[in-house]
Structure 1
Amino acid sequence: MITSAPVGDWTWEVTAHDDEIRPTRAVQTAAAVWNELAERNLAVPDGKVRVLARSGDKLRDVRVDESGLLLGSDPLAPQSDLAQAVARAEMLDGDFVLTIRIECPGRWLEPGFEYRAEKLFVIHVEVWDGKLLVVTLETYSDAWLTMDTRDREQPELHAANAPRLTAALEGISALLGSSPTPGDENRHAAPSATGFRDLRSEGPAYADSWGTFEGLNRASLLSARVPQSECEYESEYESITEHPVRYVSIQRDGRTLGFVWASVGDAAAGYVPRTAAGDETFDVGAKWLLRLREAHSQGLSPFAAMDWLSQRPSDPELGFIVEDTPQNAESLDALEELSGRY
Structure 2
Amino acid sequence: MITSAPIGDWTWEVTPSTGGTRPVRAAETALAVWNVLAGYELATPVGKAGVSVRSVNDTRDVRVRVEGLSLEPDPLSAGTALSRAVAEADSLEGDLVVGVRIDCPGYWLESGTKHRAEKMFTIQVDIWKSSLLVVTLETYVDAWLTMDTRDREQPEVHAENAHRLAAALDGISRLLGTAPVPGDPNRYATPTETGFEDPRIEGPAYDDSWGTFEISTRSRLLRSRIPASEDEYEEITEHPVRYFSIRRDGQVMGYVWASVGDEAAGYEPRAAAGEGAFEVGAEWLLRLRDAHGQGLSALAALSWVAQSSPRPEAGLVVEDTPQLAPSLDALEELSGRY
Fold match, TM over 0.5?
yes
| 1:17–1:131 contact (8 Å) kept in structure 2 | no
Secondary structure of the residue that 2:225 maps to in structure 1?
coil
Instruction: Return the letter of the residue paired with 1:290.
Output: L
1:136 corresponds to: 136
After superposition, the C-alpha distances for 1:60-100 in whole angstroms (9 at most, x for unaligned) are 11111111112233120110111111111111112111111
1:252 corresponds to: 248
Structure 2 CA distance, aligned partners of 1:9 and 1:126? Answer: 15
State the TM-score, normalized to the length of structure 2.
0.98
The question of 1:318 aligning with 2:304 is answered no
Structure 2 CA distance, aligned partners of 1:321 and 1:61? Answer: 43
1:214 corresponds to: 214
| 1:30–1:124 contact (8 Å) kept in structure 2 | yes
Give the drift of 1:307: 1.3
1:237 corresponds to: 233
Structure 1 CA distance, aligned partners of 2:310 and 2:237? Answer: 29
Structure 1 CA distance, aligned partners of 2:3 and 2:245? Answer: 19
Structure 1 CA distance, aligned partners of 2:244 and 2:309? Answer: 16
1:124 corresponds to: 124
Give the drift of 1:302: 1.0
Instruction: Return the letter of the residue paired with 2:83.
Output: A
Give the drift of 1:313: 5.2
The question of 1:337 aligning with 2:328 is answered no
Structure 2 CA distance, aligned partners of 1:157 and 1:137? Answer: 21
State the TM-score, normalized to the length of structure 1.
0.97
Give the drift of 1:57: 2.2
Structure 1 CA distance, aligned partners of 2:273 and 2:113? Answer: 17
Secondary structure of the residue that 2:61 maps to in structure 1?
strand
After superposition, the C-alpha distances for 1:258-308 in whole angstroms (9 at most, x for unaligned) are 000000000000000111111111111111101100000000011111111
Structure 2 CA distance, aligned partners of 1:313 and 1:73? Answer: 35
After superposition, the C-alpha distances for 1:83-130 in whole angstroms (9 at most, x for unaligned) are 111111111112111111100000000113111000000001011000
Q: Percent identity?
A: 64
Structure 1 CA distance, aligned partners of 2:245 and 2:77? Answer: 38
Give the alignment of 1:4-153 within 5 angstroms.
4-153=4-153
Structure 1 CA distance, aligned partners of 2:307 and 2:142? Answer: 38
Secondary structure of the residue that 2:238 maps to in structure 1?
coil
Structure 1 CA distance, aligned partners of 2:310 and 2:138? Answer: 36
After superposition, the C-alpha distances for 1:192-222 in whole angstroms (9 at most, x for unaligned) are 0000011112101001111111101101101
Over the residues paired in the alignment, what is the CA RMSD in angstroms?
A: 0.9
Structure 1 CA distance, aligned partners of 2:45 and 2:227? Answer: 34
Give the drift of 1:314: 5.8
1:290 corresponds to: 286
| 1:246–1:264 contact (8 Å) kept in structure 2 | yes
Change in 2 beyond 3 A, CA 1:74/1:219: same
Instruction: Return the letter of the residue paired with 1:4.
Output: S
1:194 corresponds to: 194
Instruction: Return the letter of the residue paired with 1:272.
Output: E
| 2:72–2:80 contact (8 Å) kept in structure 1 | no
Structure 1 CA distance, aligned partners of 2:310 and 2:192? Answer: 48
Secondary structure of the residue that 1:306 maps to in structure 2?
helix
Structure 2 runs not aligned, ≥5 long: none
Secondary structure of the residue that 2:235 maps to in structure 1?
coil
Structure 2 CA distance, aligned partners of 1:129 and 1:218? Answer: 35
Give the stretch that moved more between structures: 54-63 or 87-96. Answer: 54-63
Structure 1 CA distance, aligned partners of 2:328 and 2:77? Answer: 47
Q: Show structure 1 runs of 4+ deviating over 6 A.
A: none
Structure 1 runs not aligned, ≥5 long: none
Structure 1 CA distance, aligned partners of 2:309 and 2:4? Answer: 31
Number of equivalenced pairs: 338
1:299 corresponds to: 295
Structure 2 CA distance, aligned partners of 1:147 and 1:56? Answer: 40
| 2:47–2:70 contact (8 Å) kept in structure 1 | yes
Give the stretch that moved more between structures: 249-258 or 51-60. Answer: 51-60
After superposition, the C-alpha distances for 1:11-44 in whole angstroms (9 at most, x for unaligned) are 0000124121111111000000000000011100
Structure 2 CA distance, aligned partners of 1:165 and 1:18? Answer: 32
The question of 1:184 aligning with 2:184 is answered yes
Give the stretch that moved more between structures: 64-73 or 206-215. Answer: 64-73
